[in-house]
Amino acid sequence: MSGIDGINGIDGKVVAITGAGSGIGEATALLLAERGARVVLGGRRVERLAEVVERIEKAGGVAVSVRTDVTRRDDLHALVALARERFGRLDVLFSNAGVGTISPLDDLRVDEWDEMVDVNVKGLLHGIGAALPVFRAQGSGHFVTTASTAAFRVVPNMAVYAGTKVAVRAICEGLRQEAGDSVRVTTVSPGVIATDFAEASTNSQVRAHITEMRDRLAIPADAIARAVAFAVEQPAGVDVNEIVVRPTAQA
Ligand SMILES: NC(=O)c1ccc[n+]([C@@H]2O[C@H](COP(=O)([O-])OP(=O)(O)OC[C@H]3O[C@@H](n4cnc5c(N)ncnc54)[C@H](OP(=O)(O)O)[C@@H]3O)[C@@H](O)[C@H]2O)c1
């Protein structure tokens, strides 16, 4: 480790990641740790987090984890506190946790609407609330957030999900404008990615359609991890604001 000005722009940085036990969060944790970041992993499934920590440690990297439910404000404070306790600072918060229980509005799956708002939107706000004062006190920091191509293109069954991701982009753009010259803000919008995400829908017809599309089109989660790494590795004065990464074959 060579400190936060490490040779590759990632080496030595302290990066907290939500939704780190699977999919995009897991792939990003593995890639950033491989490049020398010290990663602090959050999610609800602690056994998944422990597996990722073990893989990183076996490969010679540094990782810790804590059970984090992003719908709980205190859990985000605990995630940020763990980074500071163990590594003395927080350089990047990757707010990646998200749920996509997509369905037509006529299904009235109102608890799932609530969950999407609570995780995708309020979860992001809880992270900003916990990390922003720390970034201000340090005089540096970087918010990286997972939105979606659904934030750019609304399609049937995705009204609520797309609404949350439009909100994510709006909040991050507002944050960027208020952030000043020392805090960076990056929004990463994936298209169809090969994760378990597509299986979340409780409407069997929608789930079959989405999983078929994933199996036909999806690109690996590592494609998003590399996009996150690209934003993180830039010099402090360079803020990569928006990255959209989708399969070449995705319309
Ligand atoms: N896969 C795609 O095609 C795609 C496309 C565009 C955008 N995205 C976005 O990418 C992000 C990651 O999804 P993924 O594709 O990697 O799927 P995934 O493997 O299902 O990852 C979602 C992660 O979110 C975490 N999560 C859910 N609710 C949470 C909560 N209340 N508190 C903390 N963590 C929570 C889950 O961990 P626990 O269950 O352990 O808490 C899980 O690790 C999401 O924001 C999603 O909207 C995905």
Q: Per-residue pLDDT for the chain (251 aa), expressed as one digit of tens each?
A: 334 555 689 999 999 999 999 999 999 999 999 999 999 999 999 999 999 999 999 999 999 999 999 999 999 999 999 999 999 999 999 999 999 999 999 999 999 999 999 999 999 999 999 999 999 999 999 999 999 999 999 999 999 999 999 999 999 999 999 999 999 999 999 999 999 998 999 999 999 999 999 999 999 999 999 999 999 999 999 999 999 999 999 98
Contact 108, 151 (CB under 8 A): no
Query: For residues 192 and 180, what is the distance between their CA atoms, to the nearest angstrom?
Result: 33
d(CA 2, CA 207): 46
145 ligand 1 Cβ < 6 A: no
Ligand 1 nearest atom to the CA of residue 20, by list position: 43
CA of 95 to the centre of ligand 1 (A): 10
Q: What share of the chain is helix, strand, coil (3-state, %, to 5)?
A: 50, 15, 35
* pLDDT on residue 8: 84
* Mutation to probe ligand 1, out of 157, 197, 210, 243 (largest number of atoms < 8 A from CB): 197
What atom in ligand 1 is closest to the CA of residue 224? Answer: 10
**What pLDDT does residue 16 have?**
99
The CB of 44 under 6 Å from ligand 1? The reply is: yes
pLDDT at 2: 37
pTM assigned to the model: 0.97
The answer to whether the CB of 21 is under 6 A from ligand 1 is yes
The domains of the chain, with CATH numbers, are: 14-192+221-235 (3.40.50.720)
DSSP string, 201-245: -SSHHHHHHHHHHHHHH-B-THHHHHHHHHHHHS-TT----EEEE
- Indicate whether residue 48 lines ligand 1 (CB < 6 A): yes
One of 40, 161, 176, 214 is an active-site residue; which one?
161
